[in-house]
Structure 1
C-alpha cells in the first residue's frame, strides 16, 4: 500500500508542486493521474520511488517511510518499483534482450557485469518478460530497428524483469500514435490484472485514462481535486481538474 499523508513538495526555486496531498493506493490498483502540465502529476509519482524528496508530510510504501531510507536500503526499496518514461530510456545500439537484462545488473557480481555474462535463469526471465508484452520474436533485434510502440514494450519488459510490486509510468504513451498508444495501455492493463502489480500512470490522454484505469486521480495546482472511479468522472469533474482547458490535455 502507498500512503500519502499531508505531503508537500517544494522545489529549490520556491515552486510548490504538491500541496497537502493525502491519499492511499492499494496493492493491485490501476490508477491514472490526470491534470494540466505543471499540475504536479510527475512530481507525485516520482516521490514514490524517491526520485524527488517530499518536503513535508509523510509518505509510506508497504509501511516503510520512504524519506527515511538511505544507501543500500534505498536501492533495495527501489528494486520493487519499476519506472517507465516517455523517452523509453533504452540503449538503442544493442539488442532487445540486453536492454531487458539491464534490470538484472544491480543483483550481479561485478565480473558478470563487465563481461556481460548473465546466468541462465536471468536470461530465461528476460525472455519470459518479452513474451508477456508480445515481442519475444524481437529478442535479438537491435532496439533502433523497432517502432516506438515496440520500444516502449521493451521498456515495460525490462521493468517486469525486476519482478516489481509497483510500476510507475510517466507519460508512457505521449509520443505514440493513437493506435499504438491503445496497444501499450492494453499491455499495462493486462499486466496489472494478471500479475496484480500496482500501476500508476501519469497521462495526458483523458480518454485513455478513463478507458483503462480503475481509478482516476485529478490534480490541479498541486492539489488533489478528484479521486474516484473512472466511471464517475463527469464533465464537471474534468472542468474542475482542467479549469476549462481540457483541450490542452489531449
Structure 2
C-alpha cells in the first residue's frame, strides 16, 4: 500500500534526511522504525502524509503519487492517515469526548464547528473509539484530569474516529513510564490486528519495537540499513543501525546484548 521508490529528502539547509530509500509496506503491517536521533525516522513517516515533501524519487500510497496532491485532494488523502504525536496535542481544558470529536472538524460546516454541534453519528463513533482503547468511562472527564497514558489513549481514540487506513506514530510512548508504555503499545497492536490498520511507529525503545512489531526498519544517516522481521534482529544488526552505541535493550529480549 505504501511504496518508496528511490526517495530522498533534502532540507533547505542542505541536510539529507533520507537517501535513496526504497521499500514497500503492505496493508495491515505493524512496522517499527528504529535508529539514532536525527537518523531520519521522523522524516520517513512524515513524508507519507506529506507533512514533509520529498526531494527526489516517488512515494505512492494506495496507488496515489503523494507528490501530485494539492488542496482538497491532499486534505482528503490525509483523512485516511492518522497521526499520533509524543505531545498528545489535546485541548486539556475540555472533555475527552470533545477532543475525540475534533477529528471530524474538516468534514463539518463552519456553523457546526463554531457552535460545537456534532451530528449524533459522530458522537456514537467517538464513544466507540474510546471503548476500543479502554477509556469509555472517561468520556465526560476533562483531559487535564487524566494520566499521561490515558491522554495518549485519547489521542489514539481521536485518530480512530477518523477511520484511517494507516496510523503513523512519532515516539508515542517516549513520555510514558514503562508499564503505561506497554499498555499503549498493547492498544496499537490490538487495533492493528482487529481493524487491519497499517501501523508505523517511530520508536526509541528497541525492546518494545522487537516485542510488538512484526517488521523492523533500521535507519542510519537517512539510509535503510535493515528491513526485515523483528524476530531476525540480532546484536550485530543493532550495532549496524546504532553504530555500536548503547541502545538500552533489555537483556531478556532474545539475549541481544549478551
TM over 0.5, yes or no?
A: yes
**For residues 246 and 157 of structure 2, what CA distance do their matches in structure 1 show?**
32
**For residues 13 and 2 of structure 1, what CA distance do their matches in structure 2 show?**
28
State the partner residue of 2:160: 160
Deviations 1:42-82 (A, max 9, x none): 00000000000000000000000001000000000000000
Matches within 5 A, 1:89-128: 89-128=89-128
1:138 and 2:119 are equivalent in the alignment: no
**For residues 220 and 249 of structure 2, what CA distance do their matches in structure 1 show?**
12
Gaps of 5+ in 2: 251-258
State the partner residue of 2:215: 215
State the partner residue of 1:129: 129
| TM-score where L is the length of structure 2 | 0.96
**For residues 6 and 71 of structure 1, what CA distance do their matches in structure 2 show?**
26
State the partner residue of 1:177: 177
State the partner residue of 1:225: 225
**Contact conserved, 1:82 with 1:164, CA < 8 A, in 2?**
yes
Matches within 5 A, 1:1-250: 1-247=1-247
**For residues 212 and 236 of structure 2, what CA distance do their matches in structure 1 show?**
20
SS of 1:137's equivalent? helix
**For residues 17 and 120 of structure 2, what CA distance do their matches in structure 1 show?**
45
How many residue pairs match? The answer is: 250
Question: Residues 48 and 133 (structure 1 numbering): CA distance in 2 closer, same or farther, change over 3 Å?
Answer: same
**Contact conserved, 1:36 with 1:249, CA < 8 A, in 2?**
no
**Contact conserved, 1:36 with 1:248, CA < 8 A, in 2?**
no
**Contact conserved, 2:206 with 2:247, CA < 8 A, in 1?**
no
State the partner residue of 2:256: none
State the partner residue of 2:255: none
**For residues 7 and 152 of structure 1, what CA distance do their matches in structure 2 show?**
31
**For residues 107 and 72 of structure 2, what CA distance do their matches in structure 1 show?**
12
- 1:247 deviates by 2.9
Runs of 4 or more above 6 Å deviation: none
**Contact conserved, 2:217 with 2:224, CA < 8 A, in 1?**
yes
**Contact conserved, 2:94 with 2:142, CA < 8 A, in 1?**
yes
Gaps of 5+ in 1: none
SS of 1:163's equivalent? coil
- 1:111 deviates by 0.8
**For residues 95 and 156 of structure 1, what CA distance do their matches in structure 2 show?**
15
